[in-house]
Amino acid sequence: MGSIYNFGIFGHSRSGKTILAESMLFKTGAIDRMGDINQGNTTMDYEEEEKRRLMSTNLAVAHFQWKKATFHMVDSPGYMDFIGEQISAVEAVDIGIINIAADSGIEVGTEKSWQLLSEKKLPVIIFVNKLDSEQSDFQSILKQINDWLGKKAVCVIAPLFSGNKVQSVANLLDPSNQKAPEFQNFVQNLMDSIAEMDDALMEKYLNGEELTSEEISSSFSRAIMNGSIIPVCCGSGLSQIGIEQLLDFIISYLKPCSEMPSLKGKNQKGEEIEVNRSDTAQVSGIVFKTYNDPFMGRISYLKVRSGTLVSNTNFFNASQGSKERVGQLFKLRGKKQDLVAEAFSGEIVAVTKLTGFKTFDSFSDASFPVIYPVPTVPDAAISFSLAPKVKGTEDKLGAAISKIMDEDPSIKIFRDTDTNETIIAGMGDVHLDVAINKFKEKFGVEVVRGTPKIAYKETITSTASAEGKHKKQTGGRGQYGHCFLKVEPLPRGKGFEFVDEIFGGAIPRQYVPSVEKGVKEAMSKGVIAGYPIVDIKVTVYDGSYHVVDSSDIAFQLAGILALQKAVQDAKPVLLEPIMNVEVSVPQEFVGDVMGTINAKRGRVLEMTAHGNNQVIKALVPLAEMSSYATELRSLTSGRGTFAMIFSHYEEVPSHLAEKIIDAKKSKKED
């Protein structure tokens, strides 16, 4: 088996990622003709929803061979609503390629991709795509990249122009290209960066000695792996320029999967363990995506992180603590399947009917259980009510709900006990639109959606204490639970903390978890408007019990009563989701767009020029953004676009909070 590499293609929506993937498949002979996004026949965008929207809504995987190496590629959606798919893609790969369109520059999706990849400490390559576009300006894009990432972003593959048209690209690490006059500035920057990485090389360089190819290669490779250099490559997916050079660069300067640094996981006792990635190590990996195919049923996408996984054998679900049989493995190329007998470290394969596995569960050899960290999926920001269109299809709807949540961990579907409605929550309008279309097109059940609901939350702004006593004496055994709680605000985003300060047995040890259970239940239902309570520290510090009448349920009820009273006294407030909004418009519309943002309680953060457009970055409450797509289209004659992603929660202004609370109360009374 030759070397195995895997990478993900990330970046802003419509920056050319899927065509870059298509071009790689074509160049390497994996497909015999290039597909076209507009014709809906690309390898990676194969779902009807993607063909209709002319954009990726799911991650897709493919494999190909290049110069005795096997490549596994993940094409990730760039639209910010599909952040869940991007997170799954990051879990599946060892190298990130950030694709930037030469005619658009750095956009909100570019920055989010960088954030996800750098949090995971993955080596990153930047590929400047669409160099054949009339609006492209490579020098300008390179300056943008350096302003954004600093000096560590270094051009290693530079374009060759004839007139204003890009003809080919050249690898500047190749000595034969270093003497060309048009590359002198690029080469100088490159050599300066390489010398700075190593004291011995720096001394040699400053003394005017020539660095050898071996010195350059090993030093450069090390720097990419540890993140001190981010190589910038370039070309055009559509014109297939720079594709071979990009793949050659990966083989020459990045380590194959089995030689990558060891991984960290935990055993079932929660102790940290190190995992060697070689093919001969014990097998381990994760399920990074679940997909429900209308014909094959449930398909699990597996990333083998160590060892060799063999078809039709038993393996262990370390996350759930259960054994399961893995069936026939197959490699994917979009929706096409190629059966394989085994999968080596770094490979991406799929298998059907893994019933016990959820997305992000870890698998391993039963003798070497390893659990890998589960990534954090952002909270949903927008929701709709959901009901079956046809009476009597509730069971079918229930089955579809579980499959949709199975496929997409960033979708939440739950029952609102206050309103008796089924609620679907997700990252944005497009995200939920795609999910709701799946009910009919994929699972054969039509649904009606109701008004979008904002995922408000409640919190407190001061400290308070309260007593909760549940005492009931009827015939037979009574009920007695009694506790004192103190509540304190936590910093925004910190969630919930429960502290036990019971001394001297005021509440027996076995009932303290019951108090916490009651507290959590009261928090889930809210106090002022029925929204979940967040960012709160709750301390149980006193109470009493009855040797006969105290019970688990009595202390749960006491916890509920105490929490409700304490929150009422701790100056509770309502929180609303605030979105990072990025609006791209021609210059003549900037004034009008700024006006609409201000009218929506938004705060403009900055404005930058991207190509022929101005990009306005702002923070805007989600509650104000419900009809913005239509508004912007109308305002700019269809020439403006925007993207938004959840940023954080902020307190709702008191006059608006009163209206929201009153509306929720009146709905409850109806």
pLDDT in tens, 240-270: 999 999 999 999 999 999 999 999 999 988 8
What b/e readout covers 40-64, taking b as 16+ CB neighbours within 10 angstroms?
bebbbbbbebbbebebbbbbbbbbb
pLDDT at position 113: 92
pLDDT digits 0-9 by tens, 430-444: 888 898 888 888 888
Over range 549-555, report the average pLDDT: 92
Neighbours of 181 (CB within 10 A): 5
- The pLDDT score that the predictor gives to residue 161 is 85
**Residue 639 CB contacts under 8 Å (≥ 6 apart), including other chains:** 585, 586, 589
For domain 274-364, which CATH number applies: 2.40.37.10, 3.40.50.720, 2.40.50.140, 2.40.30.10?
A: 2.40.30.10
Which CATH superfamily, name and number, covers 382-455? Elongation Factor G (Translational Gtpase), domain 3 (3.30.70.870)
How high is the pLDDT of residue 209?
A: 73
Q: Which two tokens stand for residue 290?
A: 């679940």
Whether the pLDDT of residue 114 is over 60: the answer is: yes
Work out the mean pLDDT of the chain and round it to a whole number: 89
**Contact (Cβ atoms closer than 8 angstroms) between residue 123 and residue 230:** no
pLDDT at 425: 85
pLDDT class of 376 with cuts at 50, 70, 90:
confident
Fold of 462-570: Ribosomal Protein S5; domain 2 (3.30.230)
Strand order in the sheet with 4-11: 60-66, 69-75, 4-11, 95-101, 124-129, 230-234, 153-155
Q: Which residues contact residue 254 at a Cβ distance below 8 angstroms, ignoring those fewer than 6 apart?
A: 5, 95, 123, 221, 224, 225
Give me the mean pLDDT over the 202-225 stretch. Answer: 79
Residue 586: pLDDT band (50, 70, 90) is: confident
More confident residue, 416 or 249: 249
Q: What's the pLDDT score for residue 303?
A: 97
Residue 269 neighbours by CB under 8 Å, 6+ apart = none
Residue 498: pLDDT over 60: yes
Whether 4-187+229-259 shares its CATH topology with 274-364 is answered no
Provide, rounded to the nearest whole percent, the portion of the chain with pLDDT above 70: 98
Residues pairing with 234 in the sheet: 128
Say yes or no to pLDDT of 1 above 70.
no
pLDDT, position 665: 76
On the question of pLDDT at 345 being above 70, the answer is yes
Q: What percent of the chain has pLDDT over 90?
A: 54
**Is the predicted pLDDT of residue 215 greater than 80, yes or no?**
no
pLDDT band at residue 668, thresholds of 50, 70 and 90?
A: low
- Residues 529, 458: contact at Cβ < 8 Å? yes
CA distance 138 to 532: 49
Q: By the 8 A CB rule, do 483 and 515 touch? A: yes
The band of 418, judged by pLDDT with boundaries at 50, 70 and 90, is: low
- In the predicted structure, residue 419 carries a pLDDT above the cut 70: no
The dihedral over CA atoms of 270, 276, 280, 283, expressed in degrees to the nearest 10, equals 30
Quote the distance between the C-alpha of residue 368 and its chain's center.
29
Question: Which residues have CB under 8 Å from 474's CB, separation 6+?
Answer: none
Per-domain boundaries in the chain: 4-187+229-259, 274-364, 382-455, 462-570, 575-655
pLDDT at 638 over 80: no
Q: Is the pTM of this model over 0.85?
A: no
Instruction: Please give the distance of CA 623 from its chain centroid, rounded to a whole number.
Output: 23
The mean pLDDT of 469-474, rounded to a whole number, is: 84
> How confident is the model over 467-489, as a mean pLDDT?
89
Q: Which fold has domain 4-187+229-259?
A: Rossmann fold (3.40.50)
Better pLDDT: 341 or 421: 341
Residue 416: strand, helix, or coil: strand
pLDDT bracket for residue 452 (50, 70, 90): low
C-alpha span between 657 and 459 (Å, rounded): 13
Banded pLDDT at 25 (limits 50, 70, 90): very high
pLDDT of residue 295: 82
Q: Check residue 431 and give its pLDDT.
A: 87
What CATH class is the domain 575-655? alpha beta
Distance separating alpha carbons of residues 230 and 553, to the nearest angstrom: 57
pLDDT-based confidence at 90, cuts 50/70/90?
Answer: very high
Sequence-distant (6+) residues with CB within 8 A of 605 are 617, 618, 619
